[in-house]
A and B are shown apart, each in its own frame.
Chain A
Amino acid sequence: MSAAEDVVTEAPAVEAVPKRAMTLGTGTSLLVLLLLIAVPLFAKNFVIFQLTQLLYLGLAVLALNILTGGSGQFSLGQSAFYGIGAYVTAVMMEQFNVPYFLCLPAAAVVCFGAGFLFGQPALRLSGVYLALATFALATAMPQLLKLNFLEHWTGGVQGLVVTKPDAPFGLPMSQDMWLYYFTLVVVLAIYIFSVNLLRSRSGRAFMAIRDNEIAASAMGINVALYKTLAFGVSAAVTGVAGGLSAIAVQFVAPDSFTITLAIQLFLGMVVGGVGWLPGSIVGAAFIIFVPNIAEGISKGLSGAVFGVLLFAVIYLVPHGARQVAILGQQLAGRLRKN
């Protein structure tokens, strides 16, 4: 698949940069982290809400990145896991009065199970066939959530209203700000986990499968296990993102989790750079803010403007934000030499 070519063509570019230049990457990450911590202190509640949205959508893009960028399996069904996560959280919070921070691990476990199980039949499929299978899952999910016998818990078509949690220990914070920092901590923890996962033995197994399944199995990797595992992990992370979204938006309804969401997440991954985890946040920013910009430029033609902007991005940087980062590193490396 394409991701395989990426690595082949780009790996030398990274290595060509002297070791010192890596500090540029670390520096940028620290700066971004600092901004993420500091900005909400000076922003209005609506901006804080948007930043929260940025974080949890970034997390969902990251999950797809683990699956597609890591193990090379394409999925259009992420919206289904996102929906399951959101519903598990909402139902537990509202119907069973479980505190919100306990709902997220539950959402992760349920989604891991769902993803792992879905990964089983998906094992036989790859490429467009897998895309169709995951697509089927995405179209089925809103309908399944509307089913009558679940209505007692899910509220059917009407959905569920979720109460926003207050800041604990009497902290002088608005609900939005508390939720933002809570989300930030969760997202950072999962980000660090994911980076380490991809660097671990399992992560290398994912990438070996992505680059060449037959060679990977010849090297003794249990292809079936790692492929389904990638599905499970990705689904679990997506589920947490969905759970966070349910708390932040304070509402879940079946029609929030359609295929459109899955397509947005996919676009976010491409814009951020397939297989490059820090790009996820850039991708999330693209799918949140660019439609608004497009709407601002022309109301009637907002879809067309969005399309043109998307084309502009993929023309300039076909490998997404990752390409920008690599260019930046090379530039910095050259400046140092001179």
Chain B
Amino acid sequence: MELFTNQVLAGIATGAIYACMALAVVMIYQAIDHLNFAQGEMAMFSTFISWQLMQWGVPYWGAFIIALVLSFVGGIAIERILFKPLAKAPILTNVAGFIALYAIINSSAGLIWDFTIKQYPTPFGSSPFLGSQLISTHQAGMIGVTVLLLIALYFFFQYTRIGLAMRAAASVPESARLVGINTSWMIALGWGMASAIGAIAGMLIAPVVFLEPNMMGGVLIYGFAAAVLGGLTSPFGAVVGGFLVGIFENLAGTYIPGVGNELKLPIALALIISVLVVKPAGLFGRHIVKRV
């Protein structure tokens, strides 16, 4: 039993990473209706910017805030410059655009900061949390930040005019336009917010996985999986999905014989698919009714 509790705790700790990333994925899905494959690379780039600032002597929180603002502006810029012209193109062409963006960001980061692994500081310290060896204060801090972020997003979408406008633009663009909402800018805003949330995720993950241009590869896959599991229309679902995926993955690695690190991912994905077969819109997703 103790092994089980420990593994669940460890799962929650890694789950926090996935939850963060899944939140960013859901944000952009709400705004543009598809998954952004370059999301992880954008987060990686933001993390590198904050690292560079710290190398130049800016204190942690200063670098954190500057990186956040730059990511927000950068996200909007990417949408305005690269993806607005593709608004009328088919969805699959847009997906190809995400892959192109992925290649560009990954390769540029490699050239600017090279591929060596870098240490990244944590603001929470890394001593054991409440005497438990499994969760460090950093991981506890990460869970805390994820939950805070979720609450902030909830209030933003439920109780502010602009949050309402964004929801309207995402669910019924035509009607939203008729009542005077600038839907095109709402999409840009969605990109900006997703990019900023991704930056937070990246800066929280970097102390755990270390900083390098490919750090987000695995994390993004789990983030997607978590978002899909929780339901792509629900930020709350994304966070729950993140923790569930983390726990799934750890338990599968511990209890199913012959599952090493290699098979962890396929097993986690297989479990998620079995859930999806039963609940096709994810655990907390809104079921969209299709019409002819």
Contacts and interface: CB of A to CB of B under 8 A. Distances in A.
Interface of A: 1-3, 5-6, 68, 74, 121, 124-126, 128-129, 131-133, 135-136, 139-140, 143-144, 146, 212-215, 218, 263, 266-267, 269-271, 274, 300-308, 310-311, 314-315, 318-320
A175 B46 CA distance: 51
Nearest to B267: A140
Contacts of A6: 90
A61 B253 CA distance: 35
26 contacts: A2-B90, A3-B90, A3-B92, A6-B90, A74-B92, A125-B277, A129-B282, A133-B273, A140-B263, A143-B263, A213-B290, A214-B290, A267-B99, A301-B108, A303-B110, A304-B108, A304-B111, A306-B100, A307-B100, A307-B101, A307-B102, A310-B96, A311-B100, A311-B101, A318-B90, A319-B89
Contacts of A266: 92, 95-96, 99
B93 A270 contact: yes
Interface in B235-292: 262-263, 265-266, 269-270, 272-273, 276-277, 280, 282, 290-292
Nearest to B34: A128
Contacts of B280: 124-126, 129
Interface of B: 29, 34-35, 82, 85-86, 88-93, 95-97, 99-104, 106-108, 110-111, 221, 224-225, 228, 232, 262-263, 265-266, 269-270, 272-273, 276-277, 280, 282, 290-292
Contacts of B92: 2-3, 68, 74, 266, 269-270, 274
B85 A132 contact: no
Contact of A263 (B93, B99, B277): B99
A132 B89 contact: no
Contacts of B88: 318
B221 A143 contact: no
Contact of B100 (A68, A140, A308): A308
A100 to B, nearest CB: 31
A216 B95 CA distance: 27
A263 B99 CA distance: 8
A132 B282 CA distance: 12
A212 B291 CA distance: 9
Contacts of A318: 86, 88-90, 93
A338 B1 CA distance: 85
Contacts of A300: 107, 110-111
Given A139-B221, A304-B104, A310-B96, A132 B90 contact: no
A303 B106 contact: yes
**Chain B interface, DSSP helix/strand/loop, else mixed:** helix
Contact of B91 (A1, A136, A310, A315): A1
Contacts of B111: 300-301, 304
**Chain A interface, DSSP helix/strand/loop, else mixed:** helix
A266 B292 CA distance: 28
- A136, A274, A301 — most chain B CB neighbours (10 Å): A136
A121 B225 contact: no
A101 B110 CA distance: 44
B274 to A, nearest CB: 8
A297 B103 CA distance: 15
Contacts of B102: 307
Contact of B269 (A140, A215, A267, A320): A140
A186 to B, nearest CB: 27
B273 A314 contact: no
A213 B292 CA distance: 8
- B97, B107, B265 — most chain A CB neighbours (10 Å): B107
Contacts of A126: 280
A5 B88 CA distance: 10
Given A307-B104, A310-B100, 16 more contacts: A1-B91, A2-B90, A68-B92, A121-B273, A129-B228, A135-B221, A140-B269, A266-B96, A267-B96, A274-B92, A303-B110, A306-B107, A307-B99, A307-B100, A311-B101, A318-B88
A318 B90 CA distance: 7
